[in-house]
């Protein structure tokens, strides 16, 4: 599927006019460029990511990387990109220790419920229900607990990246404590929520916009945006569904 340019962007993708660009690089990898020209990469898996458009695999700068868990399809390029860009890497304590052993010194370890500031943005680590082993040299290394992030931008806009997760009741707390403007939710099923669970997550979170992610990369990820839309309609939710293709941006 060709990657749309600004001139060919689909008319059904809304324009928020908030000064940032949130680009889906495929799977659950997202690049955020803020109004302050800060670049954030959430779940750095680009080089081996079959859904990432080739022309987007090279990133000029990365100020901050945020890692939700230890699986290779979410942090597979963390060491390479961290060495190249000297990015601040936000992650849990166990992934911090792993990356430190790889020679990365710009890690910012934290844990759930906490907030750290990096590059003028706030990153709040929140709960996710998944696993987090790190495969390293044929061994499985403990990667701590998985998480999601609420990223608060310069103007107060909040973007919730759920990480890989099932639906969980903490989403009600996230919606209460850090009401998200945009929620990036996995819908692929098998390893994460399906469209049905993701719709219930939207009901708990109450975001203004929801963007589905983590689907279609592999045959096992069978959830679709069409099924997600049906589930949202069934629950009569007011949240606007925004469906992007890899390489497209919400701006």
Structure tokens that stand for 163 in this block: 């990480």
Dihedral sign of CA atoms 178, 191, 33, 36 in order: positive
Q: What is the C-alpha to C-alpha distance for residues 77 and 215, in angstroms, rounded to an integer?
A: 20
Give tens-digit pLDDT for 172-231: 999 999 999 999 999 999 999 999 999 999 999 999 999 999 999 999 999 999 999 999
CB 214 within 8 A of CB 197: no
* 3-state SS assignment for residue 149: strand
Structure-token pair, residue 249: 């941006």
Better pLDDT: 6 or 45: 45
pLDDT digits (tens, 9 = 90+) for 48-78: 999 999 999 999 999 999 999 999 999 999 9
* pTM for the full predicted model: 0.95
What pLDDT does residue 11 have? 67
If pLDDT is split at 50, 70 and 90, which confidence band does 126 have? Answer: very high
Higher pLDDT, 1 or 124: 124
pLDDT bracket for residue 2 (50, 70, 90)? very low
Q: Angle formed by the axes of helices 78-85 and 93-101, to 10°?
A: 70
Gyration radius of the chain's alpha carbons: 17
The pLDDT value recorded for residue 10 is 63
């Amino acid at each position: 599927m060709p990657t749309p340019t600004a001139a060919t962007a689909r008319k059904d993708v809304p324009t928020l006019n908030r000064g940032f660009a949130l680009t889906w690089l495929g799977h659950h990898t997202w690049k955020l460029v803020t109004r302050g020209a800060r670049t954030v990469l959430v779940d750095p898996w680009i080089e081996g990511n079959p859904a990432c458009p080739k022309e987007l695999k090279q990133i000029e700068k990365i100020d901050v990387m945020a890692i939700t868990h230890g699986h290779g399809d979410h942090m597979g390029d963390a060491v390479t990109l961290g060495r190249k860009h000297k990015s601040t890497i936000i992650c849990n304590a166990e992934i911090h220790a792993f990356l430190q052993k790889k020679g990365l010194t710009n890690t910012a370890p934290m844990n759930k419920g906490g907030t750290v500031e990096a590059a003028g943005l706030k990153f709040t680590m929140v709960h996710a229900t998944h696993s987090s082993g790190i495969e390293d040299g044929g061994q499985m290394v403990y990667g701590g607990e998985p998480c999601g992030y609420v990223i608060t931008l310069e103007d107060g806009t909040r973007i919730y990246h759920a990480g890989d997760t099932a639906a969980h009741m903490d989403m009600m707390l996230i919606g209460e404590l850090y009401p998200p403007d945009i929620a990036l939710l996995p819908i692929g099923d098998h390893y994460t929520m399906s469209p049905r669970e993701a719709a219930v997550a939207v009901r708990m979170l109450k975001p203004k916009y929801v963007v589905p992610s983590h689907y279609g990369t592999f045959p096992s990820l069978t959830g679709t945006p069409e099924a997600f839309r049906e589930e949202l309609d069934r629950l009569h939710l007011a949240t606007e569904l925004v469906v992007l293709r890899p390489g497209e941006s919400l701006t």
